[in-house]
């Protein structure tokens, strides 16, 4: 039966090419937008190299100091993290690293724009980089403030050409660093992992960062498993409840928390206004936006489906007159519609691959390289199928209620 | 005629309700995109208030607190940095700033001045800043070394701020902040200044002076350098080497303002471009859908049209009828749309979009929607007008 429906569906689609084109156009372009958005989300938040273990990682990415008069919201300082995040009971490991900052190298008369991140030794244990040459520096290197650096393979090419970089030196920020490791490049969408140069934290020029509560550092803790998240969060909350304010007249409230990557982004996007609930707020906003966005294509599809059914009124009339039940007619039409949306979904997927390639190639977001994987493909197909059911149900129901006499005469207005 | 058409539309209310809702939603989408585009376009045409060409911006790594007035060591370092940079023949002028153009860092607040609450944007700058940015005072003067000896904190306001605070009276010599610790006084007025560049809206700008020799004013963390046109990377490396040697304890990063400007524009245009692409595809989808539905409805109404032709209606008459039906449907949708969009000012849209832009976007989106729907109706109505009465009546 299903086979017959599908055969029939393909025949019908081939008969009215203009309508089929309009439907496919709408479905596939809608899916392109949704899939590109999903791909960006997946690239930002899914645990992928070098952040493979980030399904077990919680981080402090932004904190707020507040008072009745004003507030300061920004990345925490090294001092705050050192005091409140280190040695948290239940954590397997923890690391403190700086936010990314742009820098310019002047190397053999050339100007090279790049990025630098300062990180401790544990950073290399929690994140799993692919080393092309050498290896990471150690905690001992950091404690001693040795001028060693890990660089990305793209930067290696720009600095030293195709040659091996191990042991060679370059100057950054007025200091000369020796390359101890080269890693495969990281796209900018891996927030914690992205940089082109990594150097020990203690190579900074001034060491007043050690006490600062606010500044330009992030801290992450690695849990043994996700089930430890609640324990870590309450332990951290307990610790910061004893926070000592530098000047209680300036600020007297502290808002901070341990976040998953998505919660961290949500916290930053909402400027830390909702504390732990930020991720719910942001998720709701995105869902509402997505729903609003698919309203128009869905309605378009519904009205086209209606037109298409009206056109086939006499066919439906014949089937009804020969005793087809409403249910089987509805079933037939929904199958037809799902066939259509799945074809549209497939075209949409191909177009998404092209759109992502164009986005990567355009250089609009420097150092971004988005990709589409099987997971995103499945999401797209699921969205397409839901789309097909929603836009098929109502027209099919209208069709099934058509009176056979009217239907045979060519449908009612 | 119209009443008759209304009746026809009403007879197929279910299908038409869908089309009307689609057109209504399209109108909202077109309005949103046009409002954004027209806003940016109107901003783009406003004067900028400075010249970003050949300006290099050296950002120094010290935090805001370190820049407060009582830090003689830092002040002396800054003075030496400015002096060193000036020794190069490639350098035309050097100044200091805290929140320079295109950097997305702002210092702003609501101040109560002359009994009015005004939102002001601040920048802490040196005497040399005006030369670097090529800012020419239109009243009074820019800062100079004499201000070191004054018993007030000198400020320069832009034209917009002057109008907002002092109306038509002369701002020069006015007390700026009577309640502050140290009295502030306006010494000059410069043309309207838009810190975040071409794509940002007008705002009230106030420059506050800091000195490189006396403990006056809060120090900024940017060194602004105007170089001769065409100065390249080789000099940049030489300059940075000298600056780093002068202040070994401070991290420095040089960006060219042209580059920062490109980045800022990309950053601000990206959401509009993404929104525009999505809107374009939504609208084209709706347009195609509408064409298909009209086409379908014309073929289904063959007999009705045939009857009209047989009773003496001309082909043109049928053509007009179908088009008028489309226009009627659009109008019904737009009535709802107009009622909804009319409420936007109540929701505070004027804080983002100027009233003139709102009106322009409103009219433009009305016209655009009519143009789109009528275009969609052209082919189906032409098809209808070509039907001959004999064919039409025979059609079964």
Residue with tokens 């980089």: A129
From B252's Cα to the closest Cα of chain A, the distance in A is 7
- Compute CA distances A126 → A13, A367, B257, whole Å: 53, 23, 38
CA distance between the termini of chain A = 31
Is some CB atom of chain B closer than 8 A to the CB atom of A382?
A: no
CB contact under 8 A, B288 and A101: no
Contact B279, B32 (CB under 8 A): yes
| Reduced 3-state DSSP string for chain B | CHHHHHHHHHHCHHHHHHHHHHHHHHHHHHHHHHHHHHHHHHHHCCCCCCCCCCEEEEEECCCHHHHCCCCHHHHHHHHHHHHHHHCCCCEEEEEEECCCCCCCCCCEEEEEECCEEEEEEEEEECCCHHHHHCCCCCEECCCCHHHHCCCCEEEEEEHHHHHHHHCCCCCCCCECCCCCCCCEEEEEEECCCCCCCCCCCCCCEEEEECCCCCCCCCCCCEEEEEECCCCCHHHHHHHHHHHHHHCCCCCEEEEEHHHHHHHHHHHHHHHHHHHHHHHHHHHHHHHHHHHHHHHHHHHHCHHHHHHHHHCCCCHHHHHHHHHHHHHHHHHHHHHHHHHHHHCHHHHCHHHCCCHHHHHHHHHHHHHHHHHHHHHHHHHHHHHHHHCCHHHHHHCC
Q: What is the pLDDT of residues A14-45, one digit of tens each?
A: 887 888 888 888 888 888 888 888 888 888 88
**Pairing relation of β-strands B91-97 and B222-227?**
antiparallel
Report chain B residues whose CB lies below 8 A from the CB of A304: 289, 292-293
**Mean pLDDT over all residues of chain A?**
87
CA distance between the termini of chain B = 28
Is some CB atom of chain B closer than 8 A to the CB atom of A293?
A: yes
Q: What is the pLDDT of residues A51-72, one digit of tens each?
A: 999 999 999 999 998 887 677 8
Is some CB atom of chain B closer than 8 A to the CB atom of A104?
A: yes
CB contact under 8 A, A306 and B15: yes
CB contact under 8 A, A109 and B240: no
Q: How confident is the model at residue B69 (pLDDT cuts 50, 70, 90)?
A: low
Nearest to A104 among B11, B26, B253 (CB): B253
Q: How confident is the model at residue A144 (pLDDT cuts 50, 70, 90)?
A: very high
Domain boundaries, chain A: 2-46+281-408, 62-258
From B77's Cα to the closest Cα of chain A, the distance in A is 15
Q: What is the pLDDT of residues A296-342, one digit of tens each?
A: 888 888 888 888 777 777 778 888 888 888 888 888 888 888 888 88
Report chain B residues whose CB lies below 8 A from the CB of A310: 296, 300
Nearest to B22 among A303, A310, A411 (CB): A303
pLDDT above 90 covers a percentage of chain B that reads 41
Domain boundaries, chain B: 2-45+264-394, 63-249
Write the DSSP symbol of residue A205: S
CB contact under 8 A, A173 and B251: yes
CB contact under 8 A, B236 and A19: no
Residue with tokens 């304010």: A245
Which residue from B minimizes the CA distance to A216?
Answer: B63
The answer to which of A130-134, A223-227, B312-316, B320-324 has the lowest mean pLDDT is B312-316
From A304's Cα to the closest Cα of chain B, the distance in A is 6
Nearest to B286 among A18, A106, A300 (CB): A300
Report chain B residues whose CB lies below 8 A from the CB of A410: 300, 396
Q: How many CA within 13 A on the CB side of residue B27?
A: 27
Is some CB atom of chain A closer than 8 A to the CB atom of B383?
A: no
B/e letters for B206-217, b = 16+ CB within 10 Å, e = fewer, are bbbbbbbeeebb
Look at residue A260 in the predicted model and tell me its pLDDT. 94
Nearest to B281 among A29, A215, A311 (CB): A29
**Pairing relation of β-strands A217-223 and B184-190?**
unpaired
**B-contacting residues in A 350-369 (Cβ below 8 Å):** 364
Task: Flag whether pLDDT at B45 surpasses 50.
Answer: yes
Residues ≥6 apart with Cβ < 8 Å to B235? B88, B90, B227
Report chain A residues whose CB lies below 8 A from the CB of B12: 413
- The gap from C-alpha A28 to its chain's centroid, in whole angstroms, comes to 21
**Mutation to test the A interface, candidates B285, B333, B383, most A Cβ within 10 Å:** B285
Task: Return d(Cα A367, Cα A195) in angstroms, integer.
Answer: 10
CB contact under 8 A, B286 and A302: no
**Closest C-alpha among A129, A100, A130, A105 to residue A115:** A100
Contact B81, B176 (CB under 8 A): no
Q: What is the pLDDT of residues B130-185, one digit of tens each?
A: 999 999 999 999 999 999 888 888 999 999 999 988 888 888 988 877 556 678 89
CB contact under 8 A, B233 and A22: no
Is some CB atom of chain A closer than 8 A to the CB atom of B289?
A: yes
Which residue from A minimizes the CA distance to B280?
Answer: A29
CB contact under 8 A, A303 and B278: no
- Most confident range (mean pLDDT) of A4-13, A254-263, A400-409, B342-351 is A254-263
**Mean pLDDT over all residues of chain B?**
87
Q: What is the pLDDT of residues A206-236, one digit of tens each?
A: 777 788 888 889 999 999 999 999 999 999 9
Q: What is the pLDDT of residues A76-129, one digit of tens each?
A: 999 999 999 999 998 999 999 999 888 889 888 888 989 999 999 999 999 999
Which residue from B minimizes the CA distance to A109?
Answer: B234
């Amino acid at each position: 039966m299903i086979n017959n429906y599908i055969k029939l569906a393909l025949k019908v689609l081939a008969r009215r090419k203009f309508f089929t084109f309009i439907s496919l156009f709408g479905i596939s372009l809608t899916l392109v937008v949704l899939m590109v958005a999903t791909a960006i989300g997946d690239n930002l938040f899914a645990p992928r190299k070098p952040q493979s273990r980030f399904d077990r990682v919680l981080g402090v990415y932004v904190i707020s100091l507040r008072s009745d008069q004003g507030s300061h919201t920004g990345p925490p300082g090294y001092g705050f993290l050192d005091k409140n995040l280190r040695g948290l009971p239940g954590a397997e490991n923890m690391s403190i690293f700086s936010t990314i900052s742009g820098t310019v190298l002047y190397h053999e008369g050339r100007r090279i724009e790049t990025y630098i991140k300062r990180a401790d030794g544990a950073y290399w244990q929690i994140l799993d980089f692919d080393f092309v040459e050498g290896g990471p520096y150690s905690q001992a290197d950091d404690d001693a403030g040795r001028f060693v650096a890990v660089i990305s393979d793209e930067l290696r090419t720009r600095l030293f050409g195709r040659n091996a970089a191990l042991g060679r030196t370059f100057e950054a920020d007025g200091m000369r660093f020796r390359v101890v490791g080269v890693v495969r490049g990281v796209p900018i969408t891996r927030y914690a992992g992205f940089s082109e140069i990594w150097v020990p934290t203690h190579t900074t020029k001034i060491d007043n960062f050690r006490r600062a509560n606010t500044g330009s550092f992030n801290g992450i803790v690695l849990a043994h498993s996700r089930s430890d998240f609640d324990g870590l969060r309450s332990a951290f909350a307990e610790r910061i409840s004893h926070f000592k304010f530098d000047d209680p007249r300036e600020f007297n409230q502290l808002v901070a928390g341990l976040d998953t990557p998505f919660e961290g982004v949500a916290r930053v996007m909402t400027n830390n206004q909702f504390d732990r609930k930020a991720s719910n707020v942001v998720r709701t906003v995105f869902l509402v936006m997505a729903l609003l966005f698919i309203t128009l294509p869905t309605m378009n599809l519904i009205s086209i489906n209606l037109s298409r059914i009206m056109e086939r009124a006499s066919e439906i009339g014949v089937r009804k007159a020969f005793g087809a039940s409403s249910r089987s007619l509805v079933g037939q039409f929904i199958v037809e519609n799902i066939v259509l949306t799945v074809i549209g979904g497939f075209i949409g997927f191909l177009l998404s691959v092209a759109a992502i390639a164009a986005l990567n190639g355009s250089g609009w977001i420097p150092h971004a390289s988005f990709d589409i994987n099987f997971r995103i493909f499945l999401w797209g197909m699921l969205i397409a199928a839901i789309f097909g059911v929603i836009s098929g149900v109502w027209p099919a129901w209208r069709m099934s209620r058509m009176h056979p006499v009217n239907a045979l005469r060519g449908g009612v207005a | 005629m119209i009443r008759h058409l209304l009746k026809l539309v009403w007879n197929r209310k279910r299908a038409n309700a869908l089309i009307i809702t689609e057109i209504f939603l399209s109108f909202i989408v077109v309005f949103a995109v046009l409002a954004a585009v027209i806003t940016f376009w109107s901003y783009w045409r406003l004067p900028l208030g400075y010249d970003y060409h050949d300006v290099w911006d050296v950002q120094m790594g010290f935090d805001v607190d370190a820049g407060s007035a009582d830090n003689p060591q830092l002040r002396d370092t800054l003075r030496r940095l400015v002096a060193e940079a000036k020794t190069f023949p490639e350098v035309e002028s050097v100044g200091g700033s805290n929140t320079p153009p295109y950097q997305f860092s702002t210092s702003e607040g609501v101040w109560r001045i002359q009994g009015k609450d005004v939102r002001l944007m601040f920048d802490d700058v040196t005497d040399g800043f005006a030369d670097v940015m090529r800012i020419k005072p239109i009243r009074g003067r820019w800062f100079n070394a004499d201000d070191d000896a004054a018993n007030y904190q000198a400020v320069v306001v832009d034209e917009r701020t002057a109008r907002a605070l002092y109306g038509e009276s002369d701002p020069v010599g006015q007390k700026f902040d009577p309640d502050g610790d140290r009295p502030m006084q306006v010494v000059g007025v410069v043309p309207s200044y838009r810190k975040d560049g071409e794509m940002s809206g007008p705002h009230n700008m106030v420059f506050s002076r800091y000195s490189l020799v006396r403990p006056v004013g809060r120090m900024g963390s940017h060194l602004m350098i105007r170089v001769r046109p065409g100065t390249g990377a080789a000099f940049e490396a030489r300059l940075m080497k000298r600056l780093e040697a002068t202040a070994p304890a401070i991290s420095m990063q040089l960006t060219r303002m042209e580059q920062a400007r490109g980045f800022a524009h990309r950053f601000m245009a990206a959401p509009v471009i993404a929104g525009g692409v999505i809107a374009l595809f939504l609208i084209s989808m709706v347009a195609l859908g509408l064409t298909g539905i009209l086409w379908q409805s014309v073929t289904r109404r063959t007999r009705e049209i045939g009857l009209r032709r047989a009773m003496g209606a001309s082909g043109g008459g049928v053509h007009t009828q179908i088009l008028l039906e489309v226009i009627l449907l659009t109008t019904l949708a737009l009535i709802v749309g107009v009622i909804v969009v009319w409420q936007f000012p109540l929701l505070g849209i004027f804080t983002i979009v100027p009233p003139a832009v709102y009106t322009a976007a409103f009219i433009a989106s009305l016209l655009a929607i009519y143009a789109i729907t009528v275009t969609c109706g052209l082919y189906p109505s032409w098809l209808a007008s070509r039907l001959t009465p004999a064919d039409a009546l025979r059609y079964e």
